[in-house]
Every structure is written in C-alpha cells, then in structure tokens.
Structure 1
C-alpha cells in the first residue's frame, strides 16, 4: 500500500498545477501502447481483481476516456490496421494496415523538430518505421512472438535493420530499451518515445513471479462468459485466436488463461512505473505528456470467444489515459474517442501544425473541459461480416453475411447479453441507428452493404474445427492447452 501511495504522490507531483508545456516549449511525449488489452482489465476501469497500481495512479493524475474505441480491422490480425490508424489518423478503410508512403505521426513530429524513438512491436512495414523514427532499438517486426524468445532488430543508418537476435522476455527488453533512451535525454531536447509492448497478447506465458500473484483456479470469469458463441458471424469460427482453448470453453480453462493474462498485465504495469520513475530521475517529468492506450481488446471467454475478431465491447473498446502538464487530474470523460484521434490531439497539445486530410478529431478541447464531445456515434467493424454503431445508450450490431441484427441497451446491459432487436418497442431505434451506421460508414470510407448478396449459414459446429498450436506457443502452453 505504501508503494502505491508513493507512486500516486510522484505522479500527482509530476502533473499538478502546471500550465500546458506547449505554451512555452514543445513537450516531450511518452506513448505507451499495450497489445490485446481490453479496457476492463485495469483497476481504473473497474476491475477490482487485477493488480495495476501504476496505471490506476496515472489515471488519477490525468484524464481517462471511458469510451475509447478502435474502428476495427479487415483481417484477423486486428492489431495491424489498428496501429496503422493510430499512426496515420485515418480509418482502415483508407490505409488498411500498410503505412509505407503514408504521412504518419512520427514523420510529422520528426519534420517539426522532434527526436523520434521507438522500441517494441511494429506491424506496419519496416520502411514506414525507418521513415518516421530517428532511432529504433530492439524492434519486433511482426505481429507476435514467444515472449521468452522474442527476435528483435535495431534500425541502422540508411533505413536497414540488423539481423534478428533472440533475447530475453519481451516486456523487459522493450522497457530497458526505453529506459536507455530516456537516460540520454536532457531538458533542452524534446522527444517522441513510442513504446508499443507485445503484451498481454498471447502466448499467455508470463514470468513465474507475476503468475504467482494470481490463482488460476479462482480468477473471475467475465460476466458474459459462454461455453460457445451461439451463432456464426458468417466467416470461419476457427480463426487462430479461437484455437487457444478447446471447444466448448470451460470455466477452469478460462480462469487459468485469465490469470495468465492478468499476470502479463501486472508485469506491464510495473514496467510503466519504471519509465515514469526514469522521467522523474532525469527531471523530464514536468515537460512530458504520457499517453497509455491499446490496439484492441480481447474476448477471453466473453460470449464464448477468445480473440478480438468481433464488434462486441470487449474487443473494440480500449483503455485511454492521458497525463501531463495542464491535463486535468482525476478526470473521467465518457466522450467517444478513436485511437486515430490521437494524431491531431497530440499535435494540438504540443502547439504544432495539425495534419490535414485525416479522419481523426482533436480531443484536447474535451480534455480541457471546453467541449463535451467530437462525435455522437461510434462505428466499429470487422471484415465484411460485422458492423456496429452506438450512441450514448444503445448499440446496434449488424451481420450482413447472415442477415441478422442485435440491439443492446448498454446502460442496462453493458455486457451485451439481452438482444432487444425482436422487441417491437425498439424498431424505431433500430431504424434510427441503422441510418447513423450508414452515415458513419460514409464518413470513414466504408462501402459495405448491410445485407450481403449471398448469405451464409448462421449455425456452426465446433466439432469440425481442428485445433493446432501456432509456431509461437511455448512448449508449456502446448502441453497445457493443446494436449487431448
């Protein structure tokens, strides 16, 4: 408890009673990005079981967005288009997951005088990384890896990369690289440090010292746990993420994987504490904006699913915390935000020229209490099989390939369990939200018809799916979850 209190006092001291740095000089930006982190897997988002004292303190020292979303993705590796949208400020309907030749956030900041640095996961073409960053150390070029044997590379002058070398645990490698960079900085410089971790993405194989913090037999199940998803979305239900546990899902296995997931999150939380402490040690705390968010959520037993390939809240909603000079403390905003809004928001905070021709909107007026919202509806999407739109209360999900609609009252039913679509009382709400869905599709460049020309079966049989581990799962995970 004393350590948690000390951390909060440090954070409070970092950010309390300070004018926005951009008024006098360019602020530093430390951008910390998690991988597959659902919003409700943090204490500050209402999870009383997981241990995240650093991020909880960061939220108290800054502003937390309770309704931050990704737009979605056009293939199963949702993290790739999500990261492309973050870096470009554009929807994936325009950039997909490719960034080569795109004017990105690091390119923009670099052109305006920032030193740009990254360490961690990069899933959007190595050429785009080289174009945006002055320095990149211990980079994972790809979507995932065995955390104990992550193969990393360094950016070389001229834009090439060193040969991949397998080192230690991913979280520790990336943290130490960021610490080394921060150690070299001075108060006279201004930097953008991008630290995209590869946790808590699977393999769910945490270090033993973190796993022992959780009981694999008593970790809580999600409120919307189901053994199987009740219908097919129209696409295969056997995508890679869904193979990480047997069908039907059992409470025992979901509890065990949840404990592993939380252990990875706590390791990440303690690593963020080390980065914050380094800022303080270097005297960089009062001139550095800290952003913490994630590329997408994860089901992990919710609705009978494991992955992020759905438009349910657990997959599309992400944490978003902003803390730094001039940012209101202990503030929670329920305004809708997309990850792609962070490009213009960071530029506005730093007093820099805003990018043009992007989909993102500036969230700074919301943060400063000058504006309540920048959008009234949020559209999320997955491939050609799922679309959703929500307002401040209701959420409509449309499945074009099976010609099916769901409607949820998120105020009364935040876990999306009671479908109201067949209730005659809500038909006008469905018509209204369908119109908004089409409007948001147009804004983001999405041209998918809401009913497919050729319909697919709504039923599915888990017994037809063959489970095989992918190449990144360590031996102990294979033994634990793939042996019959």
Structure 2
C-alpha cells in the first residue's frame, strides 16, 4: 500500500512477530511497511491497561522519524481509557483525524483483541440488551458490544472527520470487516449450527462473517461464493489503483462483487494449519483436523454441520480434492519462523540436508596405546590459577577451536566427577574444545573415547547431547582446513544430578587419512544457552577381539535425531516433516568402510507423501572393499522447486565398487531429470509413476541407471547421455528417444516407439531386449562363448540406417540368433560386417536374423531353415523338381522346397549392350558360383569377347532384407545368340 502512495497505519494487535531488526529479520510493524502503529505486538493481553509488560505492552510507534513510546503506564491510557478495546478505537479515530486532510490517501488496519480471552465484563456489561444473558456469555457479549461501539466511532469519524460536517470520507473509502477465526471453545462463544471452534478446520473454526462497504459496491446485497482472507490484500490494492504481486494467491473481489466478472473467485480454497487440512471445491469439503486422523468428506450444501462423512462412498471426489491440496502444497514454502511457544529448533531454515550415516564397531576393544587420559594431554582438565573457573588459556593441552578466543571459560571445580576439575561443554559456537593428539594415523587403526558427563544449566535432557569428533587437517595444524573422520554423539543425560559414562568406538581409519595428524573436538551437539560438565576424558588406540566387526552395516531412519548435516554450517541436523516442501534437497553420500540402509519414516505434516525437489547420490569412493547404500521406506513425491528448477535425481557418486539401491517408489508431480556423471552402480528398485498428469523423464550425464521396476509415467523418456538399463521383466511403456551419446540397454521390454541416434544394447552383459517399432541408428551386440545378445522387435524394424558394433570373445557356436522381428524393412548396410568367420542369415527360422558360421552356412540353411534331410539336403539335389538345384537356390535365396517358376538368372539386350542380373543371398555369398556364357550351349567360357571386364553392380537387400541383386553389363555382338549359366566351383 505504501508503494501506491498510501500512508499506512495499524491499530490493535500486530500478532506478526516482535523481533527487532538487529539481524535484518525484524518483523515489528516499523520493519513491515507500517508508518504509524498504536497497539501491542502480540495477539492478546489483559484488557485493563496499566500492568502488562513485554510484547503485550501498549505502545505507539512512528517509523519516520522513528519513535517508540510505551503507553502502558502513561495517562490517560492507564486512567480514564483503561479498557484496551476503547483505547484501540481511540487510536483508530486519532489516525483518521491526523490524516483525513492529507494530500495522500491512507490505509488503516484495525485489529481488536476482543473478544479474545481473557473473558471478562467490559464497560458495556450493564447494557440492557444483555439482561437475558449470564456468566461467560454475558461477559463475551459485552466485549463484542464494546468493540461494536468503537467500530461505530470509527465509521462516524470517516463520515465527519472534521466534526463540523464539512468533510466526509465515507463515499471514498472501502471498509472491510472480517473475523479472523470462528468462536473459541469455553469462552461463551456459540458457533451453532457449525461444527467445532477456533483452531479447527471445521466450519465452526473457519467460516466467519465478512462485510464490505464502499463506492461502486451493490448496496444491501449478499455474496454467497466462498472467499478467503488472502483476498483482502489484492482487493485493497485494486481499490487503491494498484495490481497485486504475481506471486500471491489472493484475488481481488471487487469485479466479482459488482458482477464485472462472472463465476467464482476460487475453484479451490485450501486451509492448512500445521497438521490440519481443509480443501473446499464447490459444495464439497475435505477435512482433516489432526495428525494421523483420516480425511473426512462433507457436502456443505446438504450438510453445513459436517455431521456425515461421505469419503468412503465418494473416492473419486476425495482423490480430486487431495490432488487440489497437493497442487497447493507444490507452490508454498515451508515454515521459516517457529510457531507460537515453540523453540527455534522446532524448524529448520536450511533446504538441503546431507545424510550422516555412522557405524559403531562391535566387540571387545583391547587397548595398545593411550593418547589422552589422566595427566597425559590433560584428560582430567587440570588448570592453573586459584579461581574455580578457568579459561582455555589457563588449561594445558586444550584450546578453543570455536569462534571465540582463549579467554573463554573452559573448566570449573564445581560439580566435578572426581573431586577436581571438569570441562564446561557450552552450547555456544564461540566455545569448542580442541586437542592435538600428536599422533600420526595409519590405515585400519581403531580408536576408543571414554568420558563421564552430566547436564548442568539449561541443558534439555531430551535433545541436548555431547559430540566427540575425530578430525584431520590438510596442513596438520588444528585450525587448518578440516576433514572430519567421524563424529559420535552421546546418549541423552540421565538427570540433572548424575554423571554417566560414555564409550565411543570409532570406525577404522581409511587409507585417505594415512600419515595425517589426529585431532579431537569435544563440544555440544547443538547450540543454545545451556552447558554440561565433562571429566575423565580418555582416548586410546587398540584392536578388536577375534571375529568382532570393525565396520558393521548401519541402519537409520530419516527422522532420527542428528542423522543429517546442514551443508551450510556443517552442523548436525534432524530432518522434520516441515522440511517436506518443493525446495527440499536430500543428499546421500558414499561411505568408505561400511554399508548403510536408510528408511524414510517421514511424511508431509499433512500425513501425505513426503515432498522434495532433489535426491542426490554423491561422494568419491576409494574404500578397500565394495560397499553400498540402500534407500528404503515410504514413497517420495518429486516436484519442481519454487523457482521452477525441475525435479531431480542426481547420480554423482564416483567409484564403480560402490552401489546405491533406491528402493523407494518415486511419484512424479512434475517432470523428472536424472543427471550426473557418477561411475558408481545406481539401481532403481522402486517404481516411477506420475501423480495425476503425464510427466516425462529425461536422462543426462554419463552415469548409468539400472531400472528394476516397470515405470508407469506416460510422458516420453529422453536419454540424452549416459545409459538406462532395463532389468529383466521391466516394461517401459512410454515413447523413448535416445540421443547420439546415449545408450538404452538391458533385458526389458519397450511397448512404445523408439527413435533417436543413440545406441541400443540388449542385455546387461548378455540378455534380450524387446522393442516395438524402431529405426535404430546404433546397435551394439555382445557375444560371449555360447551366449549372444538378442533384440526382439514386435513391430516394424528398419535396419537401413543402423550402425552395428560388436563385443565378442570365444565364439563357439555355429548359429547365434541375434534379432527376432515381426516385420523387417531393411537389413544392415556397409560398413556393418559380422564377426570374422560368420555371415548374416536374415531368414533364419523364418523371422530371425542370425550369425551363421560361414563354413556351416549351407548346412544351417538346408537343415534348420528349410528342414531338408537325407538326399534331399545334398547341394546338388533338387527336391522341388524345378530344375534349380539346392546349391543355386542357396546362392540366390529361393526356397528349395517350393517350385521356382522363374529362373533366377535374367538377361536382356539393348543396342549391343547386354545386362545380366541375379539375386544373391547374404548366406549364398559364402559359396562360389561362376557366371559363364556360350553361343552354342556346348562350349562355355568364363571370359567375354575381347576379354572385356563387365560392369558389376551389387545392391544390398534389393529384393528383401538379406536378398540383394547383382547386375553385370557387357557389350556383345548382335549377330549371335548368347547363353548364360551359373557353375559351382567347389
């Protein structure tokens, strides 16, 4: 409103925060565009002025020049105008009187606390209109009546601000009256016939009165379509001549109220309050009033009391409303401020989370070297000086590696474990105890830390923990660039008076830490304002007992305390349901010396599927033995983020000996991009599906993804780079486009079209890939011993532009069927050659392309393809009595079991030029037939008159795939008849 030239005022309860602007996040009125404020920062208070402190104090604030005056104990507010509702009315009237004559218009927001609790009699308690009421209802009604009088005073001031009748603002002012929620329970309010009260998403909590008055609006009319309080801002902006920001959800009501625009402002109205959800569409309303409670469905036109749940008999309507609600949630941010009375740690401000899996060696630890303990490197925290509290500077061996200095307090004699000193473990970034062990690491070393500790001041037993971190630095100095080896956290404390012993066994040291200097950090696992006591710290190196496991597999739930790291601060973090939103990024790293499984046990706060934008599988693996990460648990909903960055599965981890198994089902609300140049093994065992509209899948980056469950998305699958592998029994029903640098491989089935310049490579190793219609530009086949890849085409297969490549070793078989087709348009063309010693048979068993060993090609053709046997299978035999022996039928590609009516050899003559042509099969090229000519059928010669050489032209696949045409043109005298024949050369 200020940007439209308005003077802005707020009177009453601010209720949007009381934070100062010391960190740039101030949310008091003067930081939110309010020129003048008269009221309280919080949402309610005692109604009698004079004794309320803190954020409920009555104050008056002017933004420029800035003044902030506390009025709580100032006359007349604590004397004659002691009732806060009257004070708010007076504050509003004063604002109008100050600005009615200004050249600029004003915007005034008046927010009464009445009739919010505490409920009590107002100055109007004795109004005769209340005589029939008693108790809380009478007190409640009196509070409403006092507010009503003050609203009347405000309207009267608008009508006559100069108090002489000379000026009226009524016809030039838009007035909106609205309640912020339904009546609360047990305070005298009555929401009959509506269900429930304030705080509920039922109609008793959300359906409220709204009155709009102003020039251009129809008088004495009622508008019945549902609207939302989010519409107030755009309505006011349009009335002021402005336009609402594009990113807000509200709609100006003015054109609907004056019938300029037909229809309704909102097709869907959504209310979400923490775990409570309401979705309204037409007469239907879906409601969920608590966590882990079912969604209920009501028809409000027939059942405004919401007494009959219709969800079970209307599943399609429930699904439609859930779709509408999920669509709403794909557009909104997560909470950025902790809720009322909740600690800041109840929410996370970061969007990205990196899983921090940890494993603990199991078994008997046998120490062979003590590095810290007792007097050795001051494991007892002894310090110089006489005082009970000593600083880091006064404590040998230990130093402050936090953000503070050595003058920070570190030890104390109070509450020690053994009667001497103990360390102070503070929840402060300024203090972190660090120690240089002096030890140079070797691969495989195992360390154990033991200590005693207890909580002391403001240490929350349920969530505050002690953390021990082993780390190295790139320059072997304690404050150098750091690499954490492992961080372990304590159990929760027992109580505020007992020490407990912790025993941390760390993972074996990995090879990349070899020859590095070992350092320790002892710190709180969280920030706050409390501290704990810690004593008798000991660090030892040792070995495990025979048969014990140094690195057992780890298992952790997503919701587990401190299971994640905030990558911005590198501090431990706990993933919450409130972190499920379109901007959520979850990263799962490789682990060097153990495998882990992580289980999604979280949902959105609405109990619906966990929503996020990106899953990232990361890290560089160089461990001594293969390891893996398994992602399991509840399904995930992948969406674009709030800046339209696409949903993403990032395959970035390096190291072929590391495997990621993604077992969770992935539901695509928006298109999914699979990216990354990782070389790890990535296996998707969960199913890809789409939420309610077609989505596409795009693969880029050089990584390979093995898909082991049939995807259900209906949009196209585009493989721009890298490889998608379809496991056996996996069916991909979407259109598939493979770019030049990409590969589609595996043993699954495609039921839609396949196109693009990329490579098809059946099998993962050796296997069978089934496709439908395709014109592959590149086909790669593997043969190993007695096994070969196989491509099956159930539609139309065109090989005319296919580039064929091979991976072969130890070829042992006479026949390798490589392609089965339904309809074959063309065959392979140069330079695509079969492996050495083999030829293509395009009609093997009638519908297959096979590799046939050259020396056995006639036997395969006669016995297997045409089922000839005995004498009928001889090369010179003619079982169909057509005058063409088997050998020539083999050479020219005809059927030896069917009478051939037309001789395959054809000759024609024109103006002295003679053309001779004949078909030749891909198999027949393995046998030697010579073309001879004669003028008398007695003398045959290979040479031609004048020893001329004919012009020979061969056209591959001229007649059909595998059956080409050879043409020879020669010049012969016209006066002689010339005969031609084929003769076999054994």
Give the structure-2-normalised TM-score.
0.29
C-alpha change, 1:195 and 1:208, in structure 2 (3 Å) is: closer
Q: Deviations over 1:58-79 (max 9, x none)?
A: xxxxxxxxxxxxxxxxxxxxxx
**Equivalent in the alignment of 1:113:** 5
Q: Using the alignment, how far apart are the partners of 1:393 and 1:346 within structure 2?
A: 28
- Alignment of 1:378 with 2:279, yes or no, is no
SS of 1:257 mapped into structure 2: helix
Q: Using the alignment, how far apart are the partners of 1:305 and 1:368 within structure 2?
A: 32
CA apart distance, 1:164? 5.0
C-alpha change, 1:401 and 1:281, in structure 2 (3 Å) is: closer
**Equivalent in the alignment of 2:258:** 368
CA apart distance, 1:317? 2.2
Cα pair 1:187 1:284 within 8 Å, conserved: no
- Alignment of 1:327 with 2:483, yes or no, is no
Q: Using the alignment, how far apart are the partners of 2:289 and 2:92 within structure 1?
A: 42
SS of 1:210 mapped into structure 2: coil
Cα pair 1:211 1:259 within 8 Å, conserved: no
SS of 2:306 mapped into structure 1: coil
Quick one: which of 422, 439, 458 aligns to 2:327?
A: 439
SS of 1:186 mapped into structure 2: coil
**Equivalent in the alignment of 1:192:** 107
Unmatched segments (≥5 aa) in structure 2: 19-25, 162-167, 335-580, 582-603, 611-986
Cα pair 2:7 2:35 within 8 Å, conserved: yes
Q: Using the alignment, how far apart are the partners of 1:333 and 1:280 within structure 2?
A: 25
SS of 2:5 mapped into structure 1: coil
- Alignment of 1:358 with 2:272, yes or no, is no
SS of 2:110 mapped into structure 1: strand
Q: Using the alignment, how far apart are the partners of 2:279 and 2:16 within structure 1?
A: 27
Instruction: Give the greater-gyration-radius structure (CA).
Output: 2
**Equivalent in the alignment of 2:155:** 276
Greater shift in the superposed pair: 276-285 or 435-444: 435-444
Quick one: which of 123, 126, 136 aligns to 2:37?
A: 136
Counterparts of 1:456-467 in structure 2, within 5 Å, are none
- Alignment of 1:290 with 2:180, yes or no, is no
SS of 2:288 mapped into structure 1: strand
CA apart distance, 1:262? 2.5
**Equivalent in the alignment of 2:207:** 317
CA apart distance, 1:413? 1.7
User: When you count strand as a share of all residues, which structure comes out higher?
Assistant: 2
**Equivalent in the alignment of 1:170:** 84
C-alpha change, 1:271 and 1:412, in structure 2 (3 Å) is: same
User: When you count helix as a share of all residues, which structure comes out higher?
Assistant: 1
Cα pair 1:359 1:444 within 8 Å, conserved: no
Cα pair 1:401 1:452 within 8 Å, conserved: no
Q: Using the alignment, how far apart are the partners of 1:116 and 1:261 within structure 2?
A: 31
**Equivalent in the alignment of 1:153:** 59
**Equivalent in the alignment of 2:120:** 205
Cα pair 2:124 2:146 within 8 Å, conserved: no
Cα pair 2:286 2:321 within 8 Å, conserved: yes
SS of 2:296 mapped into structure 1: strand
Q: Using the alignment, how far apart are the partners of 1:452 and 1:356 within structure 2?
A: 28
For the aligned residue pairs, the C-alpha RMSD in angstroms reads 2.9
Q: Using the alignment, how far apart are the partners of 2:226 and 2:333 within structure 1?
A: 19
Cα pair 1:213 1:263 within 8 Å, conserved: no
**Equivalent in the alignment of 1:345:** 235
Unmatched segments (≥5 aa) in structure 1: 1-108, 220-254, 455-484
**Equivalent in the alignment of 1:73:** none
Structure with the larger RCO, 1 or 2 (CA within 8 Å, 6+ apart): 1
**Equivalent in the alignment of 1:411:** 301
Counterparts of 1:2-151 in structure 2, within 5 Å, are 109-126=1-18, 127-128=26-27, 129-131=29-31, 132-137=33-38, 139-149=39-49, 151=57
**Equivalent in the alignment of 1:451:** 607
CA apart distance, 1:399? 5.3
Quick one: which of 130, 136, 141 aligns to 1:262?
A: 141
Equivalent residue pairs, number: 306
CA apart distance, 1:445? 4.7
C-alpha change, 1:405 and 1:434, in structure 2 (3 Å) is: same
Q: Using the alignment, how far apart are the partners of 1:453 and 1:350 within structure 2?
A: 42
